[in-house]
Amino acid sequence: MSSFGFSRRAALRGAVAAGVATATVATAAQRAQATLPGSKGRITYRIGTDIWIAEADGSSPRVLVANSPADTGRGSWAPDGSRFFYGNGRRRPESIRADGTGRYEFPWTRGGEISDLAVSADGRYLYHAAGRKLSYAGTDGTWMQSVPVYDRPMDGPIDQSPAVSVDDVVVFTSAVTDWLSDIYRVDGQRSVTKIITNGREPDFSPDTTKLVFSRYDAERNSWHVWLASADGTNQRQLTTAGVQNRGPVFSPHGDLVLFSSGTGIKRIDIATGQVTDVPGTQNASSPTWQPVLTNYVTRVWGATALGTAVATSRYSYATHGAGPIDPRWPAKAVVLSRDDTYLDALGGSALAVQKEGPLLITPTRSLDPQTKAEIDRLLGGSGTVYLLGGLVALSAKVEQQLTSAGYATVRLAGRDEYETAIAIAREMTPNPDTVIVTTALKYYDALAAGAAAGASRDTVIVLSAGDTMPASTAAYLNGIDPTQQAVVGVGGPGCRAIENAYARKQLPSWRSRPYWPVSGATEFETAVAVAEFFFTSPHVAAVATATTWYDALTGGAMAGWYGGPLLLSTPGSLSPQTEAYLNRCAASVRWPTLLGGPLALKQSLVEPLGEAVSAPGQSVYLESTETWEPFQAARSSLRRVDPPPRLNNTRPVPPSDGAV
């Protein structure tokens, strides 16, 4: 866990939570719900206080979670089958891998029992019942605490048993008692409509057209499984025998329904109506069915550092004039930096994302032909190229080569790297929501911060000289109101520089020193801390080597463009801190990406990277090079259909004075 407190992080991002998720936080990129589509994986069920897992036919049963209170309701699988989520009876959700490893207890609590979990179709959000209210949280368990889905008083019926459709519709049970309950639907505007009278425990079919639910028959004092259209119409009873047919869930193919019968788990074929027992499930209840989907590990790389920069550009941005046949987003500009040092470009990743273009590199004296060809591919002979640094960084010849080719140039420079970072920040916005302070003396912290700044609205980076605040940076910060704009120190040196600047009275306009310290004991831990602080359940996560800066610099702009963090690793094996973070985020991360070739990050990282975010054996390896085109791959791992997400889209709340 990172070094900053969850309460402070939750306060900073709490305003975001209120604005991001109503009932419609999932995206249509991943089809699904409570039982999600995919191959038919294993099933889980409760016996007493234990959660069991078995093959779909009931064979090979074993205890998955021991001593989990029986009253915490059914759990839910991640859409790819990588993690199972359940209530633990301690007002906190937990998740675990199908093999019983990676058990993770969420760090926050909420008043009332956390139960009846349902993962959204994109794997990012965990819907649940919490203290009478339907609520949601991020599946990675980091900053976003449980938040009510819609507004209503705490008295009245109890919200239970949510399910989420591919269309981002939430249905849930509103119960007065166990046998007096109805099923309601929440739309994107948080309006709530009753769709089924006398029903509970709904579950969407994988194609989102149908619901199964249980209904109490007061005349016969029995429960039965029913089928209906997704809007609650066309209701049809599926079971007739037995008296305790409860908790129905669809199979990942939508052809079968599991339910508990009071004596064990049964399975019904919807087409034929045939009911069969699931062997080995005597006295079991609360069944779930695991979907199994494939994730894609992609290596984005070139033969050289310049080539890798071009590869990240090709991976992200369309060829000029290609139109809708190219699934990538059209670039609007290019950011260009020197290839022999990172100093001028530490704020360039965020700038590139804001300007909707890649960060490319070139030798100082002359424009590299491969880089020039990529600029031409993207912009087609017109548009803006932003030059980072003065003439010592990128010569007059480089600028002349660009202008001769038809491009407008904007040079962002100062007398040193500190002033250049400020010039970049001012180009991005005169009034930032968030200012990141990180050291220029080591590249690790700033590169992780660059991707985060790119993915966050109106977030800029300024630089310290280790523990010391340069005069130019101090002057910039002195114009920031830390009670209205968030200041985030990334890495130990950046945090200490803020403290020292305040103590040395370099910030006379600051009446206090509220800032957010985000750091770890190593560069790997700091990158994870940045990921936890700025991202909630990302779909994309990029991994770069910590031994050099090239791939992390240009690849960080790519990661920020896709709304994901930049993580670090050693070349020969996936760093434990990075692997642990990805394992925890497995429900949402579908596209883990290696930046750089096998010399930068060895092929031995591919398997553990895929296993960290996938069900066992369910990852596919792809490569994207500096010559890659979308039609050359059987499946492009990322397809841009709209601008990148901006999760951090409200002004953050600053911490109290001296938060450390």
| Separation of alpha carbons 175 and 358, rounded Å | 52
Give pLDDT, residue 565.
97
| Separation of alpha carbons 225 and 466, rounded Å | 65
Structure tokens at 37: 């589509």
Give pLDDT, residue 348.
95
Give pLDDT, residue 298.
95
> Any residues with CB less than 8 A from the CB of 239 and at least 6 apart, and which?
224, 225, 245, 259, 268, 275
| Separation of alpha carbons 362 and 398, rounded Å | 9
Give pLDDT, residue 92.
82
| Separation of alpha carbons 596 and 550, rounded Å | 9
| Separation of alpha carbons 346 and 319, rounded Å | 27
Residues of the chain with pLDDT under 50: 1-34, 632-660
Give pLDDT, residue 567.
98
If 0-12 CB within 10 Å is exposed, 13-18 middle and 19+ buried, where does residue 361 land? buried
Give pLDDT, residue 141.
87
What are the two backbone dihedrals, phi and then psi, of residue 195, each rounded to the nearest 5 degrees?
Answer: -115, -20
From the list 429, 447, 538, the residue with the least C-alpha distance to 494 is 447
Helices (H), 146-270: none
From the list 74, 81, 64, 58, the residue with the least C-alpha distance to 267 is 58
| Separation of alpha carbons 462 and 340, rounded Å | 21
**Cα distances (Å, whole numbers) of residue 643 to 31, 140, 317, 561:** 20, 24, 11, 9
Give pLDDT, residue 323.
84
| Separation of alpha carbons 323 and 280, rounded Å | 56
